[in-house]
């Protein structure tokens, strides 16, 4: 199965989502948990390759949360799989042309089966940055939350932002899996845009560390007034906790991958036995093709 490495951003009437249109520059060192997921070497239309990205947030030393639609297979289905093409997470870097923070490889992705959320597993632990806490309580209508993200500043401008953008939003309708958020500050049309998919909406309790409420999922073209859909976190907090605390093995990636591992092991045993028999018969072993690796491609989000 082919694993898609990323979507271009928010899915909606304006196509893929960006780094908060009509937002404002985050101050240096602010929101260090904010992450930029960069996927390189994706197949481009007409041949060649290109890069793409999504936003996200560090929620554990080895885990970044993002939108599920950022990682899909060739049929557009969200899947839990290792990542083949190079995907990195830049964390703790307000200015992308700076040297602060850290850049870590993404090695695998785990999808929620309840909403548009995925967990990206990192190759090594991130130290010196406090992960964003996970909400266990539902947001309330009228609550003010903040969004941080990377990407474009408007659908009409293809130049990516060079530093983290942020803005405040008001929570509107609350559904079983999604919440609606609308721009509040610095402008009424402050809005997520392309490459903001997976960006964290978080509350900022006075005297406490920030709490992740939702991640960007879909919305109209940007900038715009009115609401965007974001995936709730409190309804899947138990699943998130279980995944980021699980040790390696079948419990993490599920029975399909576990079964595949067993199958690979059995094939290896059979191959070894075949080689031994061939040697005894003084015949050269049969050459076998290497197994196909998972490949990363970009998913073009559909309009809702």
User: What local confidence, expressed as pLDDT, does residue 164 receive?
Assistant: 94
User: What local confidence, expressed as pLDDT, does residue 271 receive?
Assistant: 55
For residue 107, name the pLDDT band (cuts at 50, 70, 90).
very high
Question: For residues 15 and 26, which has the higher predicted lDDT (pLDDT)?
Answer: 26
Percent residues over pLDDT 90 in the chain: 50
In this predicted structure, the answer to whether residue 84 has a pLDDT above a threshold of 60 is: yes
pTM (whole model) above 0.85: no
- Range from 212-216, 219-223, 241-245, 260-264 carrying the lowest mean pLDDT: 260-264
Percent residues over pLDDT 70 in the chain: 73
In this predicted structure, the answer to whether residue 178 has a pLDDT above a threshold of 50 is: yes
Tens-digit pLDDT profile for residues 124-175 = 999 999 999 999 999 999 999 999 998 777 777 777 678 899 999 999 999 9
In DSSP terms, 163 is beta-bridged to: 95
Contact present, 197 and 11 (Cβ < 8 Å)? yes
Query: In angstroms, rounded to a whole number, what is the distance separating the alpha carbons of residues 220 and 213?
Result: 21
User: What local confidence, expressed as pLDDT, does residue 200 receive?
Assistant: 97
Block residue for tokens 């490949």 = 295
Residue 217 CB contacts under 8 Å (≥ 6 apart), including other chains: 10, 11, 67, 69, 115, 116, 178, 197, 228, 229, 230, 231
In this predicted structure, the answer to whether residue 290 has a pLDDT above a threshold of 90 is: no
Pick the closest to residue 152 from 230, 65, 54 (CA basis).
54
Strand 298-299, strand 6-7: pairing? parallel
- Range from 74-83, 93-102, 124-133, 224-233 carrying the lowest mean pLDDT: 74-83
Average pLDDT over the chain, rounded to an integer: 78
The pair phi, psi for residue 209, each rounded to 5°, is: -75, 155
Query: In angstroms, rounded to a whole number, what is the distance separating the alpha carbons of residues 117 and 221?
Result: 21
Query: Integer distance in angstroms from the first to the last C-alpha of the chain?
Result: 26
Tens-digit pLDDT profile for residues 241-283 = 999 998 554 434 443 444 444 444 454 544 545 545 455 544 4
Give Cα 269 to chain centroid, integer Å: 37
Question: For residues 83 and 170, which has the higher predicted lDDT (pLDDT)?
Answer: 170
In this predicted structure, the answer to whether residue 69 has a pLDDT above a threshold of 60 is: yes
How large is the greatest C-alpha to C-alpha distance in the chain, in angstroms? 79
Contact present, 178 and 142 (Cβ < 8 Å)? no
Pick the closest to residue 209 from 134, 97, 287, 118 (CA basis).
134
User: What local confidence, expressed as pLDDT, does residue 74 receive?
Assistant: 66
In this predicted structure, the answer to whether residue 49 has a pLDDT above a threshold of 60 is: yes
Contact present, 246 and 252 (Cβ < 8 Å)? yes
Query: In angstroms, rounded to a whole number, what is the distance separating the alpha carbons of residues 83 and 5?
Result: 7
């Amino acid at each position: 199965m082919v694993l898609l490495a990323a979507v271009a951003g928010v899915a909606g009437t304006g196509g893929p989502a960006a780094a908060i249109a009509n937002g404002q520059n985050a101050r240096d060192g602010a929101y260090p948990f904010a992450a930029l997921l960069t996927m390189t070497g994706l197949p481009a239309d007409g041949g060649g390759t290109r890069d793409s990205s999504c936003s996200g947030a560090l929620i554990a030393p080895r885990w970044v949360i993002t939108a599920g639609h950022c990682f899909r297979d060739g049929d557009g289905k969200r899947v839990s799989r290792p990542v083949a093409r190079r995907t990195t997470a830049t964390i703790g870097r307000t200015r992308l042309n700076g040297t602060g923070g850290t850049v870590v490889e993404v090695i695998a992705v785990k999808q929620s089966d309840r909403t548009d959320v995925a967990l990206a597993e990192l190759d090594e632990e991130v130290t010196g940055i406090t992960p964003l806490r996970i909400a266990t309580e539902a947001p309330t209508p009228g609550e003010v939350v903040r969004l941080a993200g990377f990407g474009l500043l408007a659908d009409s401008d293809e130049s990516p932002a060079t530093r983290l953008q942020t803005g405040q939003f008001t929570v509107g309708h609350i559904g079983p899996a999604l919440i609606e958020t609308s721009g509040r500050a610095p402008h009424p049309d402050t809005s997520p845009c392309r490459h903001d998919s997976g960006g964290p909406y978080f509350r900022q309790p006075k005297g406490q560390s920030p709490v992740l409420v939702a991640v960007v999922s879909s919305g109209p073209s940007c900038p715009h007034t009115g609401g965007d859909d974001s995936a709730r976190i409190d309804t899947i907090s138990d699943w998130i906790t279980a995944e980021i605390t699980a040790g390696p093995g079948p419990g993490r990636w599920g029975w399909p991958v576990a079964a595949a591992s067993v199958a690979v092991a059995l094939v290896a045993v059979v191959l070894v036995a075949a080689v031994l028999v061939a040697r005894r018969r003084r015949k050269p072993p049969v050459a076998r093709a290497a197994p196909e690796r998972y490949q990363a491609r970009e998913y073009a989000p559909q309009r809702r």
